[in-house]
Amino acid sequence: MDRINTTLVLRHYYKSLAEYLRKLDEQSFLFAPNGKWSASEQLDHLLKSIAPVNQALSLPNFVIKLMFGKANRPSKSYEELVEKYQGKLLAGGKAPKTFVPNKISFAERETKLKRIEKLALSITRKANNYKEEDLDALVLPHPLLGKLTLREMLYFTAYHCKHHQNLMEKAIADNEKNNS
């Protein structure tokens, strides 16, 4: 998947997430299944995850290279990256403490959704300024997956949003089914 398609997918997933969360009533937004995060908390987790990516993409290439090095392998495909992430989750991988969410109140929801939409737009704009070869040469650290090329980080950022939206949808649908 090239840079343009990747950024389009990323924008689409975050827009879809915001639309979904705007439709939830307060009870659904705050509902947390046993031991799982509520939609509110998943939104905060995604905000905590996307902000560092946006920040990193603001750095000049030489700073990224100096701080994190260069890729020593080709970028994985979107599918390979998703498979690696799912494998880490199945092996018990969890969000590090800095990415563990807080609850967002229903009153804060719209402000947080505007923030995440703004961050997703910012990431796509910044990513579109990179040369294709730089997306495969520069790396950033990921707390669960290790060093990822910028392209892989964009793949992850897109997939991560969709993954959490799927978790929200399933939990809320299961709750509604159990309460009907």
* pLDDT for residue 3: 65
| Per-residue tens of pLDDT for the chain, all 180 residues | 776 688 889 999 999 999 999 999 999 999 998 889 999 999 999 999 999 999 999 999 999 999 999 999 999 999 999 999 999 999 999 999 999 999 999 999 999 999 999 999 999 999 999 999 999 999 999 999 999 999 999 999 999 999 999 999 999 998 888 887
User: The whole model's pTM is what?
Assistant: 0.95
| Domains of the chain: residue spans and CATH | 3-178 (1.20.120.450)
Cβ neighbourhood burial of 93 (10 Å; 0-12, 13-18, 19+): middle
